[in-house]
């Protein structure tokens, strides 16, 4: 029930056009996936997500396990039914969130012991239990339980961590109970060490996952280093499987991910900065909460087709943000997500038309006011 | 451009069916008006308000004067355009909000000096300036600047306060610059003293306002006392003008207001309790954040036709509320407002069918599990 079809490869970059088929519908790639950490893309309804052309959303194993609990979601008929979203869902394995707990977690061969960020209660997640949780949630794409090493990280730690992730990936594959309806992706780790990335990719490919993610990037390293790792790692992955760069969401990271051959990206950035009063627009970031927009009766982005840009002025949105009104967060969330989804639509179109490199150059000039080599 | 048409009087109560015509459309009465204090009904879009059949919304002079400022709203083309709502709006005069500031305000013959709840800055609003603000906002119905006396209140203070409100009403009438497009309502005060209510009503009626509000009720007095004051005051008002009971929004207060001859009500209650995780339903209040609803996969109210009740379970809404998710506030706000608007639709239907008294009895039995005399 899960399939990746490579439709076209760009001739001047590693960008590629594809289509993923899941039990809840098709996904055109490359794609940006909005994040709905707690079984809701913050502030939005499923209908609004469809209106901005979201094809797939993310949710989070760690968060849903803690609240409301995977058993409850299963009882509700699975995550799709629970949250009233009938299109594809991907659940992250929770490795990154547990890694982010810092001193509140202890990593051992068998799994991770950690304290809940909600109430300090103790929990243990093994690769097997992670699969049990993700099987209960029932997302179309699920992720193998991994350790996401920090940056910077010494070689020995990175090596041990990567090898642990590989052993866990095997255990996940063995424990995964619903292979028919849920595609399990392996996560390539290796920190910023090419030999570790190579070994990780090779070992995971030997296990033959239906898709591969690149984890442990965008964790604080310079963007040049991330690009270098993408440039090295992506070509190691099989061409006939989708490739997912985890946790990137700024326009440049999306474009460069595609440039290096990535098919899927996700990030909380567009929704998080929306709630802080910042918009992504075709001419760059607009901090609409700033005083300069108080009397600006134009829309956020005249090139945008979203509900917000069809109906509201910067002055009104700024008022809502300053007044702490929920509608402000809503309008900016709609716009920011639509902006990134629209960006990916334009990227797909440019690959189709053999103009991806020109599109990329043009975008950098307009958004970042600079050229890209 | 403003007109009230009395369509039908109930034979067994003072309930009445009517229609108000404003520059932004017609309003069937009796009606509940959602409150959009800061130029937004908290969490909702104008389209969603239309979907739940909101006919008119309220906004607030005090709040909009402080933020974003009435001059800015005027510059935007008025409140309708600023907030993208093309149906009728009523602006409250701000008297109640300033009265609520307590020691932060000083009332004198000329007007009120007060400190902003936002930044402590000093401001002065006179009846004339209040009209200037409301004229700038451009609502279809505007309210005369009044003092809302507290409860309990001694007779001498109530008398002086009521007389001041009457003098201010005259000054508002004289200062109101846009009589063609904005109907100015007088506010009957008098606290819980019938002779003061009578005098206030008489003096205001002499000034011939296009509508009359009853202010200073639902300020902490027992409900029986409020009903007694309504029973006494409403018949003093002319039959050919709309009557507005300010600040009531619980189902019993709405039904009793209609019973005593009121045409319009407003309150923040349905939206406020929504954000705290409480729903109004046809079988009574449901505190959906309570643990008992964790595994309840039924809808909030099977008799409700709102978006929330068509799509979501109590278990999911509870999860959203517990997780502090904006969508929880949204879903409950939609439902609670629809519940009260629907209640008023049913009330209008019952008046039409000469069954208002039966409807009232039946509602009390189902919602409050008690009979009403």
- The set of long-range contacts for A295-299, using a CB threshold of 8 Å and a minimum separation of 24, is A295/B72, A295/B75, A297/B75, A297/B76
Tell me whether residues A327 and B67 touch, CB distance under 8 A.
Answer: no
Is A116's Cβ below 8 Å from some Cβ in B? no
Contacts of A68 in chain B (CB under 8 A): 294, 315, 318-319, 322
Is B45's Cβ below 8 Å from some Cβ in A? yes
Smallest Cβ–Cβ distance between B38 and the set A40, A43, A323 belongs to A323
Tell me whether residues A319 and B294 touch, CB distance under 8 A.
Answer: no
Give the closest residue to B28 by CA, choosing from B232, B189, B211, B242: B242
Tell me whether residues A72 and B326 touch, CB distance under 8 A.
Answer: no
**C-beta neighbour count of B105 within 10 angstroms:** 17
A272-294 pLDDT per residue, tens: 999 999 999 999 999 999 999 99
Q: What whole-number distance in Å separates Cα of residue A243 and Cα of residue A260?
A: 10
Contacts of A318 in chain B (CB under 8 A): 68
- Give the C-alpha distances (Å, rounded to integers) separating B178 from A24, A139, B69, B134, B234: 57, 58, 19, 10, 27
The dihedral of CA A256, A260, A263, A267: what is its sign?
negative
What values do phi and psi take at B219, rounded to 5? -115, 25
Tell me whether residues B325 and A38 touch, CB distance under 8 A.
Answer: yes
- The percentage of residues in chain B with a pLDDT greater than 70, rounded to a whole number, is 100
B235-282 pLDDT per residue, tens: 999 999 999 999 999 999 999 999 999 999 999 999 999 999 999 999
Residue A38: is it exposed, middle or buried by C-beta count within 10 angstroms (0-12/13-18/19+)?
buried
Split at pLDDT 50, 70, 90, the class of B148 is very high
The dihedral of CA B108, B111, B113, B114: what is its sign?
positive
- Give the C-alpha distances (Å, rounded to integers) separating B254 from B97, B226, B247, B248, B269: 22, 12, 10, 7, 12
Give the closest residue to B271 by CA, choosing from B339, B320, B333: B333
A162-208 pLDDT per residue, tens: 999 999 999 999 999 999 999 999 999 999 999 999 999 999 999 99
Smallest Cβ–Cβ distance between B72 and the set A39, A294, A323 belongs to A294
Of the residues A326, A328, A329, the best mutation for testing chain B's interface (the one with the most B CB atoms within 10 Å of its CB) is A326
Residue of chain B nearest A71, judged by CA positions: B295
Tell me whether residues B316 and A44 touch, CB distance under 8 A.
Answer: no
Of the residues A309, A327, A331, the best mutation for testing chain B's interface (the one with the most B CB atoms within 10 Å of its CB) is A327
Tell me whether residues A326 and B42 touch, CB distance under 8 A.
Answer: yes
Contacts of A67 in chain B (CB under 8 A): 319, 322-323
Smallest Cβ–Cβ distance between A40 and the set B44, B84, B325 belongs to B325
Q: What whole-number distance in Å separates Cα of residue B223 and Cα of residue B254?
A: 12
Is A72's Cβ below 8 Å from some Cβ in B? yes
Here the tokens at position B209 are: 């306002």
A9-39 pLDDT per residue, tens: 999 999 999 999 999 999 999 999 999 999 9
Please tell me the distance in Å from A169's CA to the nearest CA on chain B: 30
Split at pLDDT 50, 70, 90, the class of A233 is very high
Tell me whether residues A67 and B322 touch, CB distance under 8 A.
Answer: yes
Angle subtended by helix axes B223-233 and B194-206, to nearest 10: 40
Q: How far is CA B306 from the centre of its chain?
A: 21
Is B75's Cβ below 8 Å from some Cβ in A? yes
Residue A1: the pLDDT is 86
A96-120 pLDDT per residue, tens: 999 899 889 999 999 999 999 999 9
Split at pLDDT 50, 70, 90, the class of B1 is confident
Q: What whole-number distance in Å separates Cα of residue A18 and Cα of residue B327?
A: 33
Residue A373 has pLDDT above 90, yes or no: no
Residue of chain B nearest A68, judged by CA positions: B319
Residue B189: the pLDDT is 98
Residue B127: the pLDDT is 98
Tell me whether residues A326 and B322 touch, CB distance under 8 A.
Answer: no
What is the residue-averaged pLDDT of chain A? 97
ipTM over cut 0.90: yes
pLDDT, average across residues B301-327: 98
**C-beta neighbour count of A108 within 10 angstroms:** 10
Contact criterion met (CB below 8 Å) for A49 and A338? no
Residue B373: the pLDDT is 77
> How many inter-chain contacts (A to B, CB under 8 Å) are there?
99
Q: Supply the residues of B annotated as catalytic.
A: 92, 266
Tell me whether residues B82 and A316 touch, CB distance under 8 A.
Answer: yes
Q: What whole-number distance in Å separates Cα of residue A139 and Cα of residue B53?
A: 36
A64-101 pLDDT per residue, tens: 999 999 999 999 999 999 999 999 999 999 999 998 99
Is B272's Cβ below 8 Å from some Cβ in A? no
Residue of chain A nearest B45, judged by CA positions: A327
Residue A297 has pLDDT above 90, yes or no: yes
Split at pLDDT 50, 70, 90, the class of B326 is very high
Q: Supply the residues of A annotated as catalytic.
A: 92, 266
pLDDT, average across residues B145-154: 96
Residue B276: the pLDDT is 97
What is the residue-averaged pLDDT of chain B? 97
Residue A215 has pLDDT above 90, yes or no: yes
Residue of chain B nearest A326, judged by CA positions: B43
Please tell me the distance in Å from A333's CA to the nearest CA on chain B: 12
Interface of B with A in 286-345 (CB under 8 A): 294-295, 297, 307, 311-313, 315-316, 318-320, 322-323, 325-327, 329-330
Residue A347: the pLDDT is 98
Q: Where are the beta strands (DSSP E) in B202-282?
A: 211-214, 243-245, 264-266, 278-281
Smallest Cβ–Cβ distance between A68 and the set B42, B67, B319 belongs to B319
Tell me whether residues B319 and A38 touch, CB distance under 8 A.
Answer: yes
Contacts of B315 in chain A (CB under 8 A): 68, 72, 76, 82
Is B2's Cβ below 8 Å from some Cβ in A? no
Contacts of A330 in chain B (CB under 8 A): 43, 45, 326, 330
Contacts of A313 in chain B (CB under 8 A): 76, 82
């Amino acid at each position: 029930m899960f399939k990746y079809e490579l439709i076209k490869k760009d001739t001047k970059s590693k960008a590629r056009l594809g289509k993923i088929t899941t039990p809840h519908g098709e996904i055109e790639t490359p794609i940006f996936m909005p994040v709905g950490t707690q079984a809701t893309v913050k502030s939005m309804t499923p209908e609004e997500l469809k209106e901005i052309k979201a094809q797939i959303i993310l949710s989070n194993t760690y968060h849903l396990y803690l609240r409301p609990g995977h058993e409850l979601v299963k009882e509700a008929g699975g995550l799709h039914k629970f949250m009233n979203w009938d299109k594809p869902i991907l659940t992250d394995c929770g490795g990154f969130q547990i890694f982010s707990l810092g001193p509140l977690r202890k990593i051992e061969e068998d799994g991770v012991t950690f304290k809940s960020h909600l109430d300090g209660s103790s929990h243990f997640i093994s690769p097997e239990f992670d699969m049990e949780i993700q099987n209960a949630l029932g997302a179309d794409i699920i992720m193998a339980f991994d350790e996401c090493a920090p940056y910077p990280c010494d070689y020995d730690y990175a090596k041990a961590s990567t090898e642990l992730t590989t052993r866990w990936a095997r255990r996940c594959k063995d424990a995964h109970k619903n292979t028919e309806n849920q595609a399990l992706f392996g996560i390539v780790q290796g920190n910023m060490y090419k030999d570790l990335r190579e070994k990780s990719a090779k070992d995971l490919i030997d296990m033959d996952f239906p898709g591969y993610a690149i984890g442990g990037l965008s964790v604080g390293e310079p963007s040049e280093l991330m690009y270098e790792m993408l440039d090295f790692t992506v070509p190691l992955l099989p061409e006939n499987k989708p490739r997912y760069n985890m946790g990137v969401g700024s326009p440049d990271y999306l474009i460069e991910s595609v440039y290096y051959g990535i098919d899927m990206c996700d990030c909380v950035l567009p929704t998080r900065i929306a709630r802080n009063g910042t918009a992504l627009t075709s001419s760059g970031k607009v901090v609409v909460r700033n005083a300069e927009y108080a009397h600006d009766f134009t829309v956020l982005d005249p090139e945008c087709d979203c509900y917000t840009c069809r109906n509201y002025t910067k002055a009104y949105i700024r008022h809502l943000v300053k007044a702490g009104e929920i509608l402000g967060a809503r309008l900016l969330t709609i716009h920011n997500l639509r902006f990134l989804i629209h960006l990916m639509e334009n990227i797909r179109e440019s690959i189709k038309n053999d103009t991806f490199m020109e599109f990329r150059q043009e975008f950098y000039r307009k958004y970042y006011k600079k050229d890209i080599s």
